[in-house]
Amino acid sequence: MVLLNQKTDVELVGHLMRRAAFGEPIDRLEEKAATAYETLVDDLINVDKFSRLNEDLLERHNIQHADEESRQWTRARWIYRMINSERPLEEKVALMWHDVFATGDSKVGNNPMMRTHYEMLRDYGLGNFRDLLLTLAKDPAMIYWLDQQMN
């Protein structure tokens, strides 16, 4: 185990949080630097240690925008999760899989399907790859994206 000074610890934690999450404000990095690095990595990987965000607050404070059919609302909700989740690796991996297994509003044009697709990527993204692929093969947004509904 390498012993590092405080400044280097903050830099190391900052690097970890940029790679495995979406970064952190400096005050939170300084807080996390006091924790053992192995514990931070363990907390990022073992997402079940933390509960998912309670999105009721987001909806309550944005009631005028909380439209389940709205693309903007789905995007805003996902960005809110990325910024505020205690499970940032789950959100980062979901975004990565969304980039790999391309689907999009531009073609699918059905917000509930896209929302279900995002949720599926969150639920299966860190799990068994085979399970992810089997679930993805049945995903309505992916089926539509690949024009499989015409077969």
Q: Which of 42-46, 69-73, 88-92, 120-124 has the lowest mean pLDDT?
A: 69-73
pLDDT of 59 higher than 90:
no
In a domain, 54, yes or no: no
pLDDT of 6 higher than 50:
no
Range of the domain at 98: 68-150
Higher pLDDT, 116 or 65: 116
Token digits of residue 41: 């990595």
Token digits of residue 117: 């697709």
Q: What is the tally of structural domains in the chain? A: 1
CB atoms within 10 A of CB 139: 18
Taking only the tens place, the pLDDT of each residue in 94-133 is: 999 999 987 887 888 888 888 899 999 999 999 999 999 9
Q: In whole angstroms, what is the distance from residue 110 CA to residue 119 CA?
A: 15
pTM attached to this predicted model: 0.81
In a domain, 118, yes or no: yes
